[in-house]
Amino acid sequence: MKVFLTGGTGFVGQEILRQLLAAGHQVRALVRPGSNLEHSPAVETVSGDVTEPQSLQGALAGCDAVIHLVGIIREFPGKGITFEDLHTKATKNILQAAGDQGVKRYLQMSANGTREDAVTDYHKTKWAAEVAVRQSDLDWTIFRPSLIFGPEDEFVNMLADLIRKLPVVPVMGDGQYRLQPVAVRDVAAGYLRALETPESIGQTYHCGGPKDYSYDEVLDLVGQALGKGKVCKLHQPLFLMKPVVGLLESIPQFPITSDQLQMLLEGNCCDPEPWRSTFDLQLTGFTEGIQDYLKK
């Protein structure tokens, strides 16, 4: 199968690309100038930008399916990087290009917590993108992963860095909000199997790991993987921290935004069984999964 891939240089995209090639699929990747995929002999690349519809003309021609992964976790409006552009408008552009160029099969990356009555702009724009997908004439499947972990992830590696460097790790609130981390290799495997699973057309799947944990428990598990045992934590009252985050979130170096804090406090859990069973996945446990790369 010839697959058109967006977001192939990202954390999830690199794993999906690796698995696509290992399975014998052909890949045409949309890349921006300077991308590290430009000179890969195993991948056909086309120069373009998901926010610029004219750059997609002819780019998808001859492909059998689209995997659309482009997304951001944080906005930088001053640089023109917004949720509206990268989530909603980009999805509409790819949908239009796929329809115009005769590509019917379409796989969309969304996020767990996306819903019509979402609070954060992140989830609102993900929802608007989902609506556009459902209203299309394509044979679509939507995936909503929870927190994704793996060797090149940002979240677990950030926690590991804090635990290595600090005697006490700060925690927003009581640390009891729950997360259900899912392995990047399992998320990628679901995408590949969806390409050859017709019953997944028109379905939305929540992608989570086999178990959920409180944030405090996640910290302790990361500490154990590093050989440090239980992590010493300092819980910060939310009534003090929310105004601080709101004040400093516009600084690029500040590690969290109000949207990210809200999503953290909402929790990130789901029922992964329909996804697991449909694609016959053997889900990777968080404890053993992070040991594979943190212990190195």
* pLDDT score, position 34: 72
Q: How many CB atoms lie within 10 A of CB 119?
A: 13
Residue 240, in any domain of the structure:
no
Q: How many CB atoms lie within 10 A of CB 264?
A: 16
Residue 173, in any domain of the structure:
no
- How many domains are contained in the chain? 1
Residue 233, in any domain of the structure:
no
Residue 201, in any domain of the structure:
yes
> Could you tell me if 206 and 141 are in contact, meaning their C-beta atoms sit under 8 angstroms apart?
no
Burial 171-210 (b: 16+ CB within 10 A, else e): bbbebebebbbbbbbbbbbbbbbbbeeeebeeebbbbbbb
Q: What is the pLDDT of residues 37-56, one digit of tens each?
A: 766 788 999 999 999 999 99
Residue 258, in any domain of the structure:
no
Residues 6+ apart with CB under 8 A from 14: 8, 152
How far is it, in rounded angstroms, from Cα 103 to Cα 146? 28
Mean pLDDT of the chain: 95
Q: What is the dihedral of CA 7, 274, 287, 294, to 10 degrees?
A: -10
Q: What is the pLDDT of residues 4-26, one digit of tens each?
A: 999 999 999 999 999 999 999 99
The range of the structural domain enclosing residue 55 comes to: 2-149+182-208+269-283
> Could you tell me if 8 and 37 are in contact, meaning their C-beta atoms sit under 8 angstroms apart?
yes
Residues 6+ apart with CB under 8 A from 172: 235, 236, 238, 241, 256, 261, 264, 265
In which region does residue 227 sit, left (phi positive, over 0), alpha (psi from -120 to 50) or beta (all else)?
A: left
Q: What is the CATH number of the domain that holds 88?
A: 3.40.50.720
Residue 202, in any domain of the structure:
yes
How far is it, in rounded angstroms, from Cα 283 to Cα 55? 38
Residue 273, in any domain of the structure:
yes
- Tokens for 292, please give them: 């594979």
Q: What is the pLDDT of residues 183-217, one digit of tens each?
A: 999 999 999 999 999 999 999 999 999 999 999 99
Residue 247, in any domain of the structure:
no
